[in-house]
Amino acid sequence: MITEKQTIHPLLKPYISVAEGIAKTFGDFCEVVLHDLTDYSSSIIAIFNGHVTGRKVGSPITNLGLEIIKKGLNGEDNLINYSNTSHLQKPIKSSSMIIRDEAGNIIGCLCINIDTAYLRVANSIIENLISIEPANQKQEEFSPSINDLQEQLINEAIDKIGKPISLMDKVEREKFISYLDDKGLFLIKGAVQTVADLLKISKYTMYNYLDKAAKEVD
């Protein structure tokens, strides 16, 4: 499937044919996705064999996609050979590679998702192909919309703290915000205001929390 968008970053255009070539080489069980990271709400500009994860052109970035971008901002470009699960609960082997422009800015991401359900019944010759390091296991949620993705990440953070937002003290709120920052939530436009409203604090106070979290990382 070729992008339906009228304009995409010129540096991303060559990757469309690359993505198509990879998908055709490995067959129907190999999904290849190209993301334009200027718009998280409809980041997929090209996808081949989209039946693997049930997505299409115009689908949003995933929770793990945001986390990969966040790591990319810290200089970590690739996440290779991690385990995943499709919308049909089939095992997937995935790799995601950040794409940068000449100035080093993140502009896109090329992702490969291989449905290993068929490969797992093959003989030992392909064991090395489908092997996954336990330390690289990730759970990726294929959210239908960017709002669903935000809600999912916020609920994860609440579960992590172990109590409702209304009962969190200052230290717990800091941990709550820091968790969401690590997951890349605040890369989404409007997310800072959304979380500020949930915490019943000002946007200015939110940025103070984020500045403090950034300094602790440094």
107-147 pLDDT per residue, tens? 999 999 999 887 777 655 656 666 776 666 677 778 789 99
Mean pLDDT over 196-208 rounds to: 92
Q: What is the DSSP string of the chain?
A: -----S---TTTHHHHHHHHHHHHHH-TTEEEEEEETT-GGG-EEEEESGGGTT--TTPPPPHHHHHHHHHHHTT--EEEEEEEE-TT--EEEEEEEEEE-TTS-EEEEEEEEEETTTGGGS-GGGHHHH---GGG-------SSHHHHHHHHHHHHHHHHTS-GGG--HHHHHHHHHHHHHTTGGGSTTHHHHHHHHHT--HHHHHHHHHHHHHHH-
**Percent of the chain residues past pLDDT 70, beyond the cut:** 87
Question: Which residue ranges form the domains of the chain, and what is each CATH number?
Answer: 13-142 (3.30.450.20), 149-217 (no CATH)
For the ranges 91-95, 100-104, 130-134, the lowest mean pLDDT is seen at 130-134
Mean pLDDT over 64-89 rounds to: 86
Reply yes or no on whether the pLDDT at 74 is more than 90. no
